[in-house]
Structure 1
Amino acid sequence: MILADYHLHTSFSSDSESPMEDMIKKAISLGLKTICFTEHHDIDYPNNPDDFDFLLDLPSYKENLFTMKEQFKDQIEINYGVELGLMPTTLKKCSDFVKDEPFDFIIGSTHIVDFMDPYDAIYFETYPAGKGLAHYFEDILKNVSSFDDYCVYGHIDYAARYIKDPSFEFHYSDYSDLLDTILKTIIDHGKGIEVNTAGLKYGMNDPNPHHDIIKRYLELGGEIITIGSDGHCPEHMAYDFHKLPDFLSSLGVRYYTIFRNKKPEFIKL
């Protein structure tokens, strides 16, 4: 069983309305032993119809989390994290944001490319399917080449969730130069990747990333893999975690990782 969910959002993230206490109580009911809240902080997120700014009120978030951590300490371990939305233009600001802050865990993610979120239709109208995914990977490469203040890179093929072209099929070989360089850079910097079950929630055959990306990460020597549901509400916590042990084992994964004080700890599947 997977007993740790390391990608969770509450009402401290612009796109969630869920109170932190509700998420914690759900995690306890699911039998989770460890959770890490990873609220969004996306500097310079573009204007959008929902008027989300994705800027984290860090003092309020921190105060609430540590109050909950103490309140529920005998029932579940609650760790302090953040998901940084990275763009080549905001990396210095992101470093300043996390500097000297005692996070247990930091996810680096790419949500915005050319001031567009692939979640919005305009992205794949501008860059159709395969080209749009390649352009997304190009920005990830820029980020991992210049930024080191993260523990794992989140949902590396996030953009693929939103490709509507029914004829599109992902083949690692189509992006191997880009992806190999991204994965080697992540590994060389001592960082990891995330397996994010929101891909399954969105109807994909795999979690994010695609199984060939996970397999290649292992082939290149990667070892750090965290598990997260990307849950924004209680009912999505630990989403389809029961499917992961067999799925990951089939790829050669033997351990998943949790972080405390930004240090990885390995747990046997």
Structure 2
Amino acid sequence: MILMDCHTHTQFSVDSEADIELCARRAAELGLAAYAITDHCECNGWHEKAHYPEETWYLCESFDYAKDFENSVSAVTALKEKYAGKMNLICGVELGQILHDTEAAKTVNSDSRVDFIIGSVHQVAGEQDFYFIDYDKLSMNEIYDFLERYFREVYEMSRTDLFDVVGHLTYCLRYMKQRHGIDADISRFDDIIAETFRSLAHNGKGIEINTSGLRQGFGDCFPSLKYVKMFRDLGGEIISFGSDSHTVEDIGANIADGMALAAAAGFTRGAFFRKRKPCFTDIT
């Protein structure tokens, strides 16, 4: 089995200190069929802090992601030259909250250096990142309302042309389960998830199997087998794989498990991206 890792972070992500040179060296040592560096770019924090009303500052962990984006893409572009012929290095970005500032998203999409865009929802409109929510203070009705807003925002994002694959669908469950022991039943949202998958398949977009939950205490990939199979059954063809590594050591972590999950769902090939176009490789 030839592995690929298409969701990784480096020093140019606000929540990572992984040296980008060491990351590239590690990916080369692993012999990955494809290695994408996809540093964070949160659209709702694209501008400098002073650009936003002070009363909304608490909603964003950081600001000036335009600078982070340029630093990351410039560094990856230089590394692509250094490793030309030695490694399949992909210049990517994890683009968060696309609907919160579509002009910022369009700027990223128009950059010809970018091969690959993960579209992620880390927070719903008017709320903090799921990481910062104190779920113990919410009733289950409030939690399910929160989750519905998440899945509806992912659906609305799926109708745009501003990304290539949806990142870590069901990320919304990570912290409420890991830190608070709340195991919400998201089957009540299967209809809107199915509509999202139909939209993605129709628009030639994909989803990723994010393996971070397997090593971080969640106990499953994002999303689980049920939803990867649903995507396949509804016409989805593009599936990518990502460790969501924020350290050098986690590059490639559990990717083999993610590929096995994809195969169990009926996929025979996975995708990485070049110049925003999917390139397929067998996974079985």
Query: Root-mean-square deviation (CA), in Å?
Result: 2.3
Flag the structure with higher helix content.
2
- CA drift of 1:101 comes to 2.8
Distance 2:204 2:117 in 1: 13
- CA drift of 1:29 comes to 2.1
Q: What residue is the counterpart of 1:55 in the other structure?
A: 65
Question: Over residues 124-162 of structure 1, what are the superposed CA-to-partner deviations in whole Å (9 max), with x where a residue is unaligned?
Answer: 7457444332221121122223x2121111111111111
Question: Over residues 77-121 of structure 1, what are the superposed CA-to-partner deviations in whole Å (9 max), with x where a residue is unaligned?
Answer: 211111111253312321133214331111111011123111113
Once structures 1 and 2 are overlaid, which stretch shifts more, 60-69 or 189-198?
Answer: 60-69
Native 8 Å contact 1:2 1:245 kept in 2:
no
Q: Closer, same or farther in 2 for the Cα pair 1:35/1:194, shift >3 Å?
A: same
- TM-score normalized with structure 2 length: 0.85
Once structures 1 and 2 are overlaid, which stretch shifts more, 149-158 or 197-206?
Answer: 197-206
Alignment of 1:158 onto 2:171: yes
Question: Over residues 148-190 of structure 1, what are the superposed CA-to-partner deviations in whole Å (9 max), with x where a residue is unaligned?
Answer: 1211111111111112353525453x11111111111111111
Question: What amino acid sits opposite 2:270 in the alignment?
Answer: Y
| Runs of 4 or more above 6 Å deviation | none
Alignment of 1:139 onto 2:153: yes
Residue ranges of structure 2 left out of the alignment (5+ in a row): 46-55
- CA drift of 1:37 comes to 0.9
Q: Closer, same or farther in 2 for the Cα pair 1:84/1:167, shift >3 Å?
A: closer
Distance 2:131 2:182 in 1: 19
- TM-score normalized with structure 1 length: 0.90
Distance 2:275 2:26 in 1: 24
Q: What residue is the counterpart of 1:6 in the other structure?
A: 6
Native 8 Å contact 1:14 1:54 kept in 2:
no
Distance 2:157 2:37 in 1: 23
Question: Over residues 207-261 of structure 1, what are the superposed CA-to-partner deviations in whole Å (9 max), with x where a residue is unaligned?
Answer: 1012111110000010100001111111111111232333222221211111111
Alignment of 1:168 onto 2:179: no
Q: Closer, same or farther in 2 for the Cα pair 1:50/1:108, shift >3 Å?
A: closer
Question: Over residues 25-63 of structure 1, what are the superposed CA-to-partner deviations in whole Å (9 max), with x where a residue is unaligned?
Answer: 111222213211111110224646995337142443233
Q: Closer, same or farther in 2 for the Cα pair 1:70/1:14, shift >3 Å?
A: same
Aligned-residue identity in percent: 30
Alignment of 1:27 onto 2:27: yes
Native 8 Å contact 1:39 1:56 kept in 2:
no
What secondary structure does 2:100 align onto? Answer: coil
State the aligned residue count.
267
- CA drift of 1:66 comes to 2.0
Distance 2:44 2:278 in 1: 30
Native 8 Å contact 1:42 1:54 kept in 2:
no
Distance 1:32 1:41 in 2: 24
Once structures 1 and 2 are overlaid, which stretch shifts more, 74-83 or 53-62?
Answer: 53-62
Alignment of 1:148 onto 2:161: yes
Distance 1:232 1:167 in 2: 25
Alignment of 1:115 onto 2:130: no
Q: Closer, same or farther in 2 for the Cα pair 1:49/1:138, shift >3 Å?
A: closer
Native 8 Å contact 1:6 1:229 kept in 2:
yes
Once structures 1 and 2 are overlaid, which stretch shifts more, 238-247 or 77-86?
Answer: 238-247
Match of 1:85 among 96, 99, 102: 96
Native 8 Å contact 2:35 2:90 kept in 1:
yes
Distance 1:101 1:192 in 2: 21
Q: What residue is the counterpart of 2:18 in the other structure?
A: 18
Distance 1:140 1:86 in 2: 9
Q: What residue is the counterpart of 1:207 in the other structure?
A: 221
Q: Closer, same or farther in 2 for the Cα pair 1:87/1:115, shift >3 Å?
A: farther
Distance 1:191 1:51 in 2: 28
Once structures 1 and 2 are overlaid, which stretch shifts more, 75-84 or 116-125?
Answer: 116-125
Once structures 1 and 2 are overlaid, which stretch shifts more, 196-205 or 124-133?
Answer: 124-133
